[in-house]
Amino acid sequence: RMSMWQLISILVKAKGLELPRLALPYWTMRPVCYLIEWAHWGTGTFPPFRWLPWKWDPTFHRFVLYFLTHNSTFDGSKIRRDLGYTNRFSVKEAERLTVEWVKANEF
């Protein structure tokens, strides 16, 4: 079993970065997401805002907030039980290979 945050921390460390120490609650970030989406909506898609000189796609929005704040756990027990799947790599080996791939492909 591996949680989403465990996977994210592996990928962040592979890039040589650190996870942020400050964790803001969901209720404070939700209005921020609405503002980001409103600004995105207003940059060229709505006539009064077409004068804005930029067009961009936000990387942080309500879906990302939901994805990061709700519990996601990867668990392979059901596929092993129902289909007889066996892992090609151990969790540690898969982690090492993933880190190597991230570093090699500048992900």
Could you report the per-residue pLDDT of 35-87, keeping only the tens digit for each?
888 877 766 555 555 556 666 667 778 888 888 888 777 788 898 899 999 98
Q: What pLDDT score was predicted for residue 81? A: 93
User: What integer best gives the mean pLDDT of the chain?
Assistant: 81
Closest C-alpha among 29, 96, 87, 88 to residue 62: 29
pLDDT reading at 2 higher than 60:
yes
- Residues near 67 by beta carbon (within 8 Å), at least 6 away in sequence: 4
Which is more confident, 105 or 53?
105
